[in-house]
Amino acid sequence: MTASDARFSIRQLEEEGYTGPVALLTPDEAAAGRRAFFEAIGQDEDAPGPSGRRPGGFNLEYRWAHDLATHEKALDYVELALGPDIVLWATVFWYKEPRNAKYIPWHQDASYWPMEPRINLTAWIALGPTFRENGCLRLIPGSHKAWLDDDYRPLDAQSAFSRGLSPDQVDESRAIDLEMSPGEAVFFSEATLHGSNANESDVPRVAYSLRFTTPEVRFDPDGLKEQRIDYLARTILVRGKDRYRLNDSLMAEPPAD
Ligand SMILES: O=C(O)CCC(=O)C(=O)O
């Protein structure tokens, strides 16, 4: 695979902070992931409802979630961007059941993450259809060139995060709506402004986000606790070598088959 493959473009990633969507999983693989997700949260895909389950770390508990997060095709793309040594350090299911009124505010991921240096590539995989009415992922191309850490504010009760950026703090006219089919993925950087609206439809929105970094990045375990992501942040070397060993206390093994 080369950087000019299909719609994965390193140049676009560098200039616009994202690339894709690309067809990553087959429709059958996406459907299997969706079914496994609903089973894990104790629901039937045909009757999706609210879930009290914490959204992160399924890859540490379920082999299918680890296998999906380390899909060779995903790692091939990540390698084009991050190089041969790749660490998977977090995964999150972004699930919005039908009529879920919460929105994800505009944010740049690494503003919340105690990592140094700030290097991350997220692969955001649509496991089901995503479109405007069910609150598809939105992002602002080119927004990764300036950090907005100091501008974060407390937000209203409909926000899924207590702090973030309000719409008047970003140029929403430049936002793109990533309407995607099951199995498609978009890749974006630690600094790309993104968020999503409420699900105003009867179709659940199920996405799996994979966070990749490189071994030269150090995580601060206390900072992970402060951000309440210590339960999901575990480093797994998924390709290449770790010549740094900076995160031994966070290292994990994949779950057994
Ligand atoms: O899925 C969403 O709406 C938000 C995803 C997100 O914030 C992320 O993957 O970092």
CA-based diameter of the chain, in Å?
A: 48
Q: Is 196 in the pocket of ligand 1 (CB under 6 A)?
A: yes
Please report the pLDDT score of residue 20 as a whole number: 95
**Cα separation, 171 vs 169, whole angstroms:** 7
In a domain, 48, yes or no: no
Q: From the centroid of its chain, how far is CA 47?
A: 25
Overall domain count for the chain: 1
In a domain, 256, yes or no: no
In a domain, 35, yes or no: yes
CA-closest candidate to residue 181, choices 52, 34, 15: 34
Question: Which numbered atom of ligand 1 lies nearest the CA of 205?
Answer: 1
- Mean pLDDT value across residues 213-233: 97
Please report the pLDDT score of residue 257 as a whole number: 83
- Inform me whether the pLDDT recorded for 3 exceeds 60: no
Under 8 Å between Cβ of 182 and 31: yes
Cα distances (Å, whole numbers) of residue 72 to 4, 30, 125:
18, 15, 14
Expressed as residue numbers, the domain containing 221 is: 10-43+54-250
In a domain, 3, yes or no: no
Q: Going by CA atoms, what residue is nearest to atom 4 of ligand 1?
A: 195
Pocket mutation for ligand 1, best pick of 121, 196, 212 (most atoms within 8 Å of C-beta): 196
Buried b (16+ CB within 10 A) or exposed e, 133-143: ebbbbbbbbeb
**Cα separation, 25 vs 221, whole angstroms:** 33
CATH number at residue 89: 2.60.120.620
Q: Is 207 in the pocket of ligand 1 (CB under 6 A)?
A: yes
What's this model's pTM, rounded to 2 decimal places? 0.96
Give tens-digit pLDDT for 142-192.
999 999 999 999 999 999 999 999 999 999 999 999 999 999 999 999 999
- Inform me whether the pLDDT recorded for 139 exceeds 70: yes
Pocket mutation for ligand 1, best pick of 18, 89, 92 (most atoms within 8 Å of C-beta): 92
Predicted confidence band at 6 (pLDDT cuts at 50, 70, 90)? low
Radius of gyration over every alpha carbon of the chain, rounded to an integer in angstroms: 17
